[in-house]
Amino acid sequence: MNALVDQGLLTVFFTLSAVVIGASSPHASEGEEAYQRCVVCHQPDGAGIPGIFPALKNRFADIMASVEGREYFTMVLIDGLIGTIEIEGQRYVGAMPAQYLTDAQISALIDYLATNFGASDAADSNLLLSEDEVAQIRSKFSSANAQSTLDLRTRVPALNGQ
């Protein structure tokens, strides 16, 4: 019985989340749709769950401000992430699964994140990735996996106090 209740609550949660989050363009709509894969862990407002799932809100712009951050974030979506990370003194041990998104979906998702959790100016080109840029990153790291994505993290200035 509890499993049925839990499934029902998740269904309601996903439905309400999809209705509450607004979109204004086809690209934004595709990004919003892609974010539905992320919303259970990272929450509708991007706040995450402390100690369990890291926040995207108030961190996305800093990560995307460098080439290394753009590569890392893209590869987390492509290959997932396994291992221990530390964010603002909080340790997170676990795994994020690969999302199996197309380059267009990743571009749209990053656009959505920039608009909702990034900068006040969503058109900030430093935060956005075109479909072609995503394809270039995917190609550059074609032999990567969830463990090697963790290694990419060490190169991101915003995540390493640089």
Q: How far apart are CA 135 and CA 116, in angstroms?
A: 23
Question: Angle between the 103-113 and 131-140 helix axes, to the nearest 10 degrees?
Answer: 110
What is the rounded distance in angstroms from the CA atom of residue 29 to the CA atom of residue 53?
24
User: Dihedrals φ, ψ of 85, to 5°?
Assistant: -125, 155
Q: What is the mean pLDDT of residues 134-162?
A: 89
Q: How do residues 73-126 score in pLDDT, each as one tens digit? A: 999 999 999 989 998 888 999 899 999 999 999 999 998 998 888 765 545 666
pTM listed for this prediction? 0.78
Q: What's the rounded Cα separation, in Å, for the pair 85 and 92?
A: 5
| Domain range enclosing 150 | 2-159
How far apart are the C-alpha atoms of 125 and 12, rounded to whole Å? 35
Q: What is the pLDDT of residue 18?
A: 37
Indicate whether 7 pLDDT > 90: no
Q: Identify which of 1, 150, 126 has the alpha carbon closest to the alpha carbon of residue 63.
A: 126
Identify the CATH number of the domain in which residue 94 sits: 1.10.760.10
| Tally of structural domains, the chain | 1
Q: Extract the tokens encoding 7.
A: 């499934």
Instruction: Report in angstroms the alpha-carbon separations of 1 from 7, 13, 87.
Output: 10, 18, 38
- In the predicted structure, residue 42 carries a pLDDT above the cut 70: yes
